[in-house]
Homo-oligomer: A and B are copies of this chain.
């Protein structure tokens, strides 16, 4: 038995629109005992990701909703602190789905051991994890980048967007990033080597984006929706591809926006421009994980694929950090450091 308490962040009510601190509650539970073949995991880092907003609602989606009164789920880097499973030893660092809590129990299924000598363990939650695989598979399978084409990506300073842009550069594209604020814009064209960037907070986003996309847009990696989509849409070239992996700008919407209804206008543009608009979830391409880890690992070593982390200290600060994530307050992959 491990001594102490298990702090947990519990969902106490479903957010109506933007989540508020009142939707969450920090509680304490006993540290669970483990049974046959189980391991006890101590959370080191918790990943906060936009998809979690969807799970806080009851609406049908590609993952089931979080349960009221239960700790929220989430990817973690965890340490094995007790083990009845021969495959895992105390001290192993693993990629897990430990959730918003100090301790979790696992039967070992779905755990992946991490070697800190190969890459910092937190990368398994970002550039070498779900966000990186999302970028890699969506871009290559649906975006199908060709040298000389123009790719635009929103939330471009985030873990998915920054990987999309850099992989598109590797594939020979001209890359335009869209992000919120001058600091992020500078990061895109500086550190990450994007060809251009636009600030989605600018009231002249449409004009500014048009100015930096003189040849239109051949691939738009859609993870935002909203006003950014409105600015991108008129710039899409014939035969453009639009992988859709997220619509963060809309996650807090409580009702459909006012009219007119532009859905048939969207369909008409899909027709006349011969667009390919295709949704995907990272798990759809799980079988490409090995290719991804091989390629991304090499690109990181070669300095072609950089990443940035935004680490918040303390489990108790997870709700506020998550609320900020949906507004773009983070700068880089958002992680909560739960324990040393």
Contact = CB atoms under 8 A, between A and B. Distances in A.
Q: How large is the interface on A (under 10, 10 to 19, 20 to 34, 35 or more residues)?
A: 35 or more
Given A247-B268, A268-B247, A268-B250, A274 B263 contact: no
Interface in A52-107: 60-62
A273 B280 CA distance: 8
A106 to B, nearest CB: 28
Contact of A258 (B229, B247, B259, B272): B259
Nearest to A245: B271
A315 B268 CA distance: 31
B261 A246 contact: no
Max chain B C-beta neighbours (<10 A), residue from A245, A255, A263, A269: A263
A222 interface: yes
A256 interface: yes
Interface string A235-278: 00001000011110010010111111111111111111111111
Contacts of A170: none
A108 interface: no
Chain copies in the assembly?
Answer: 2
B258 A260 contact: yes
B279 A272 contact: yes
A227 to B, nearest CB: 11
Contact of A277 (B229, B255, B270): B270
A35 interface: no
A246 B264 CA distance: 11
B278 A274 contact: yes
A300 interface: no
Contacts of A265: 256, 263
Contact of A257 (B259, B269, B274): B259
A297 interface: no
A106 B275 CA distance: 34
A257 B260 CA distance: 6
A328 interface: no
A275 B271 contact: no
B278 A278 contact: yes
A286 interface: no
A111 to B, nearest CB: 27
Nearest to A249: B264
Nearest to A261: B257
Contacts of A258: 259-261
Nearest to A269: B279
B272 A61 contact: yes
Nearest to A253: B264
B61 A267 contact: no
A257 B255 CA distance: 18
Contact of A256 (B260, B272, B281): B260
A259 B264 CA distance: 12
A281 B274 CA distance: 7
Which 9 residue pairs are nearest across A and B when measured between Cβ atoms? A259-B259, A256-B260, A271-B279, A262-B263, A276-B278, A270-B279, A257-B261, A274-B279, A263-B263
5 contacts: A60-B272, A247-B271, A250-B267, A257-B264, A274-B280
